[in-house]
Amino acid sequence: MRLWRRRRRTDVPDDRSGLVVAYWESHDEHLLTAGLGTIARRLPSLVAAALRMAWQANPRDTAVALAGNLVAGVFTVFGLVATSDVLASLLAAGPTPERVRAALPSLLLVAAATGLRGALLAGAGWAQARLKPQVERLAETRLFELTTQVELAAFDDHDFHNAMRRARDSGVPDTATVVETTIAVVTGAVGVLASAVALGLLHPILMPLLLVTAVPAGWAAVRTARLGYQAFYRLSTARRRKFMLSDLMAERQPAAEVRAFTLRDFLLGQYGKVADLEQDVQLDVARRQAAVKASGDLLTGVATAGVYVVLGVLLAVGVIPLSVAGAAVLAIRTGQVSLTALVQTMNRLYEAGLYFGDYLAFCELARERIPAPPLPAAAAEPAPFRRLTAEHVTFTYPGADRPALSDVSVTLGRGEVVALVGENGSGKTTLAKLLAGLYRPQHGTIHWDGVDLDAFDGETLRRSISVIAQDHTRWPLTVRENIVMGRPPEDDRLAAACAAAGADEVVAGLAGGYDALLDRRFRGGHDLSGGQWQRIAVARGFYRDAALVIFDEPTSALDARAEHALFERIRGHAEGRTIVLITHRLASVRYADRIYVLDHGTVAEQGTHAELMAREGLYADLYELQASAYRQRVP
């Protein structure tokens, strides 16, 4: 500890004072304070949950892993007791050949027990190795089935999002660890029990000797693990900073600015400070762990010597014969190894079990956030609507102080181009997501030709809606997969969608055409500019051929010529469909059939471009503000 205090640096964060605990560190306090009694009390529920998960993943492998270890314990007892018979025969009076012949049956039993025990443990190990990937896959599949099914608003909930990340990043891998360590705990417990039973069969007075020799090693194992947790806890903030710095120096996105602003020496210097801190703590902990291990080994040696003295006394007074004493030594050594491994494994199981508990808790939380199923009679796919209306809808994001939308009413007719305009934060994107059925309003209703959207199955409803978000995803897939998005590929339809979006020029410039992979992280992958990605995203919306198409800032990355051409295509695409257009560029919405102007979550104005300009309200102010920038003459 003196080394830590002497060399700590005041210019690098080395603790978490005043910091919010990160989602992956939520159990550090538990790991630091939990004693062996706490661990033991929690084990039954952990073991039960882990075995249920393993059984669901593969009943046969679970049964083989458990039964193999349990039956192997029986053969351990049998072999230890038979060893006493072997020693009794070999140490009996008489010629050596006769003693060896007398010991042969017991020797054969010991050999058979050892061989069968080895075969059972090998089979159990094979089943356990098979079980681990199956459990992890089951846990991951269940997680993703839930995360892709919960309502979209759940991802705007900070607590839900952190719970999801804990479950995904730690809970899923630790599910397999819990199953693995559960079986290891069973194995260790069976080994200890087998040694204890063997000692009891040899002589009841020998059973306590097993505990005497194993306690020091168990203490050392727990203390060593606790020191490791303390080091991890002390370095948590520094380690996060180190990861951040490593990303800045080794990732593609910041690479240009690192060079442009000559940040190499600065970043290396910051990294060096944190790395020095981490190294100092790790060396200090390594020294302390070595001291604990040495103390444990010393105490174990003293305890073992004491046991041998007790065995000698028991021999001297005639309580046990020499053959029993020899077998007892073997049983104590076997039990000592099993008990030490059991204590260490219990510690690992408790640690992994905390995050496994997070996984189970998140699954319950996610099930509560899954939208209720609609009535069976209303679950059919909706026909193209004649009118889509939102009436007095109000929506507040989780944890927000005020509503994002308040008492908003809008109407969309088939074949119309409807524009949503307003300043940042006015609620345009939120309203679009409500119209698309991605969010549910807390108050008010949204009707598809008179039918409440809640009456439709969400998946079915969204097949009739296409949403091109402002922050659209750049899928690491081929061009074709980026546009088709899981729908049946149709070459003519694909070509038409690309032509309408102007993405055909992007495809023509790629060596692989529609089969070009759009991710430079993979061999042969391509990287697109922001404008090219935007055209691909718009083509995705056109390909879907939906009754309602929502474009959220579809031209933010396009040049003026491409922007004008795209808006012309969008108007042409509106035939038989309804287009909702969200944009800050008001010159592009002049020809919209209806314009809704949002301000602080309410509809401030609505009408055509001419009507709104004549009103000389908010829309006219914003339009004139943009237009004036183009009318100014350059001196």
Closest listed residue to residue 548, CA positions, set 466, 607, 433 = 466
pLDDT at 12: 38
Predicted pLDDT of residue 146: 92
What confidence score (pLDDT) does residue 90 get? 58
Amino acid 21: pLDDT:
47
Instruction: Output Rg (C-alpha) for the chain, integer angstroms.
Output: 35
Give the pLDDT of residue 431. Answer: 92
Q: Please, which pLDDT band fits residue 56 given cuts at 50, 70 and 90? A: very high
The domain in which residue 521 lies consists of 479-545
> 439 vs 239, which has greater pLDDT?
439
- Mean pLDDT confidence for 594-604: 92
Q: Which residue has the higher pLDDT, 237 or 319?
A: 319
Same-domain check for residues 532 and 600: no
Residues 73-106: tens digit of each pLDDT: 777 776 777 776 666 665 565 566 766 676 677 7
Contacts of 131 (CB under 8 A, 6+ apart): 54, 57, 58, 61, 62, 65, 179, 180, 183
pLDDT in tens, 461-488: 888 888 888 778 888 888 899 898 878 8
182, pLDDT greater than 50: yes
Please check whether residue 146 lies inside any domain of the structure: yes
Predicted pLDDT of residue 444: 92
Q: What is the pLDDT of residue 485?
A: 85
Q: Is residue 257 included in any domain, yes or no?
A: yes
Decide if pLDDT at 16 tops 50.
Answer: no
pLDDT at 374 over 70: no
Q: Which residue has the higher pLDDT, 433 or 570?
A: 433
Instruction: Reply yes or no on whether the pLDDT at 5 is more than 50.
Output: no
Residue 355 has pLDDT above 70, yes or no: yes
- Assess if residue 225 is contained within a domain: yes
**pLDDT of the residue at 40:** 63
Phi, psi for residue 421 in degrees, rounded to 5: -130, 165
Res 24: pLDDT:
45
Portion of the chain with pLDDT greater than 90, in percent: 13
Percent of the chain with pLDDT over 70: 86
Q: Tell me the pLDDT band of 268, cut-offs 50, 70 and 90.
A: very high
Same-domain status, 442 and 561: yes
Residues 126 and 225 in one domain: yes
Q: Which residues contact 256 (CB under 8 A, 6 or more apart)?
A: none
Do residues 285 and 318 share a domain?
yes
pLDDT band at residue 410 under the 50/70/90 scheme = very high
Mean pLDDT, rounded, of the chain: 80
Same domain, 520 and 553: no
User: What's the N-to-C CA distance of the chain in angstroms?
Assistant: 71
Round to whole Å and give the CA distance between 439 and 432.
9
In a domain, 36, yes or no: yes
| Distance separating alpha carbons of residues 608 and 624, to the nearest angstrom | 16
**Rounded to whole angstroms, how far apart are CA atoms 208 and 199?**
9
**Does some domain include residue 392?**
yes
Same domain assignment for residues 353 and 435: no
Other C-beta atoms closer than 10 Å to the C-beta of 202 total 22
Same domain assignment for residues 512 and 552: no
Is the per-residue pLDDT at 176 higher than 80?
Answer: yes
Residues 402 and 326 placed together within one structural domain of the fold: no
pLDDT at residue 13, rounded to an integer: 40
Q: Which of 545, 579, 603 represents a domain boundary (last residue)?
A: 545
* Low-confidence winner among 42-46, 228-232, 609-613 (lowest mean pLDDT): 228-232
**Domain presence at residue 218:** yes
**Residue 8: pLDDT band with limits 50, 70, 90:** very low
Alpha helices of 206-262 — where are they, by DSSP H?
Answer: 207-234, 236-250, 252-260
Picking from 146, 161, 140, 123, the residue whose alpha carbon sits closest to that of residue 23 is: 161
Q: Is the pLDDT of residue 160 over 90?
A: no
Which of the two residues, 520 and 403, has the higher pLDDT score? 403
Query: pLDDT (tens digit, 9 = 90+) per residue, 483-524?
Result: 988 788 888 988 988 888 888 888 888 888 888 888 887 888
Mean pLDDT, rounded, for 296-321: 82
| Domain boundary, last residue among 545, 575, 595 | 545
Could you tell me which of 188, 189, 224, 207 has the C-alpha nearest to residue 296? Answer: 224
240: exposed, middle or buried (Cβ count in 10 Å: 0-12, 13-18, 19+) = middle
Looking at the fold, whether 541 and 579 belong to one and the same domain comes out as no
In a domain, 471, yes or no: no
Report which of residues 401 and 325 the model is more confident about. 401
For 328-341, how does the pLDDT look when each residue is reduced to its tens digit (9 = 90+)?
777 787 777 777 77
Q: What CATH number did the domain enclosing 628 receive?
A: 3.40.50.300
CATH number, position 39: 1.20.1560.10
What's residue 2's pLDDT? 34
Give the Cα separation of 357 and 167 in Å (integer).
Answer: 9
Total structural domains within the chain: 3
Contact 400, 114 (CB under 8 A): no
Q: Name the more confident of 212 and 433.
A: 433
Lookup result for tokens 């204590």? 343
Does this model's pTM top 0.85? no
Q: What's the confidence (pLDDT) of residue 116?
A: 85
Q: Are residues 327 and 410 in the same domain?
A: no
Same domain, 561 and 485: no
Position 597 pLDDT exceeds 70: yes
pLDDT of residue 631: 62
Same domain for 312 and 399: no
380 within domain boundaries: no
Higher pLDDT, 3 or 462: 462
Which residue among 318, 342, 368 closes a domain?
368
